[in-house]
């Protein structure tokens, strides 16, 4: 999952970056929802450590951390509604019913 996130963030393709979180949830629906947060955060940190010039060419580092924060907020919302522990499929359901941000990002 971390490798997938790194590939998407470093793809240079804005459409792939925008759809990354949704695609992760679709690809790993049974994984804990927080695993998506961990994967995106870890991928972003690895990019930051490996490619220090990346932010000047493409703002992938702030994007990665921003996406991690947004996923975290959604996980919190899902778990606040009683779905504890939540899995990625729960996020997909939440996005369809409550907050379609990650579904609209194509």
Q: How many domains in the chain?
A: 1
Query: Can you give the residue range of the structural domain that contains 61?
Result: 2-104
Tokens of 59: 């703002």
Residues of the chain with pLDDT under 50: none
Per-residue pLDDT at 12: 87
Is the backbone of residue 33 left (phi > 0), alpha (psi -120 to 50) or beta? alpha
């Amino acid at each position: 999952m971390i490798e997938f996130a790194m590939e998407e963030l470093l793809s240079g393709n804005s459409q792939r970056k925008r759809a990354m979180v949704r695609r992760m949830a679709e690809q790993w629906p049974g994984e804990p929802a927080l695993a998506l947060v961990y994967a995106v955060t870890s991928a972003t940190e690895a990019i930051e450590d490996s490619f220090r010039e990346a932010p000047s060419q493409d703002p992938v580092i702030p994007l990665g951390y921003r996406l991690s924060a947004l996923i975290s907020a959604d996980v919190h919302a899902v778990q606040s509604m009683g779905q504890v522990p939540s899995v990625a499929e729960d996020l997909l359901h939440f996005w369809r019913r409550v907050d379609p941000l990650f579904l609209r990002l194509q």
